[in-house]
Amino acid sequence: MAAAHRPTPGFPEHLRALYERFPFERSIPEDPVAGLQGFRSDRRAAEVGGIFAATLAIGNTTAIRGSFAELLRRADGDLVRHLVDVPTPERLRRVAGFRHRWIRGDQMAHLASRLHAVHAKGGSLERAFADGLADGGFAGGLDRLSAALRGPDDGTAPAGYRVLFPSPLDDAGSACKRLTLFVRWMVRTEPPDLGVWSSVPISALRIPLDQHTFWIAYNLGLTARKTRNWRTVEEVTEALRAVDVHDPVKYDFVLCHTGISGDCPKHRDIAVCGPCVVRPDCRLWRGRRVGA
């Protein structure tokens, strides 16, 4: 059996160099988090906008940003006032005909109703997550957050709504990319993240494992798993924790957008890969000369 691929001893320094050289000014405007930057000063607006944007984070970033902008337009620029804190008929009117991939307007209206219910009881998504974190670690936090968003299983949710909010504790052991991304936005204080939650330590975060981050993590030897699931999330996070114990997901944005932008072509291409500082750690280049 072939030995598992591992990054070189120089990987931490290579990853730091990738981060320092990364063109954030190019990629931040292309990310769904760009639409949330105006909410930093209002924690509730940031939570509400963040969970809508994260729920829509399926497909390419241009479509995601466009759909979130459309949802915001339908709410006259204020999701809390004109979508969450209004009666159900008004919610449904606002989002009638809305669609992003397989996500429908009635599902967005129900999400708004769940957010209203959580806040009406004096709670917040931060409190739900933090309570679960205290009881069962990060996976427990996501499970409690998912339960708050799903609401009771009483048949009132529209078709397909509850599956939008998986839990890592479900039998499938989902990677929960979108909820994990939402928590990263809320907790990390370094741009582009919003840092509006104060009760969750940055060191507790887990990597939002989308297809780009997973592919790059696999080829850098941060995981040998070939399936995106919660075990893979934990494995990749632990590998990154060895680089920065205080901020294990610091490099998530850079890894993700290295894939999105085409800076990582996902095959050997010396014209693109030549300048890449993590090329020595990549399985595609291990043991190969640049001219080979």
pLDDT mean by block of 10 residues, the chain; 292 residues = 82 97 96 96 97 97 98 98 98 98 98 97 95 97 98 95 98 97 97 96 98 96 96 98 98 97 91 94 81 48
Place of tokens 């691929």: 5
| Token pair recorded at residue 162 | 């509850």
Place of tokens 């479509």: 63
**Helical pair 252-260 and 211-219, crossing angle rounded to 10 deg:** 100
Collapse the DSSP code of 22 into the 3-class scheme (helix H, G, I; strand E, B; otherwise coil) and give the result: coil
Given this model, what pLDDT does residue 266 score? 87
Given this model, what pLDDT does residue 2 score? 56
Given this model, what pLDDT does residue 287 score? 73
Collapse the DSSP code of 245 into the 3-class scheme (helix H, G, I; strand E, B; otherwise coil) and give the result: coil
Given this model, what pLDDT does residue 292 score? 45
Whole-model pTM?
A: 0.95
Given this model, what pLDDT does residue 290 score? 54
Other Cβ atoms within 10 Å of 286 Cβ, number: 15
CB 265 within 8 A of CB 258: no
**Interatomic CA distance for residues 101 and 231, integer angstroms:** 27
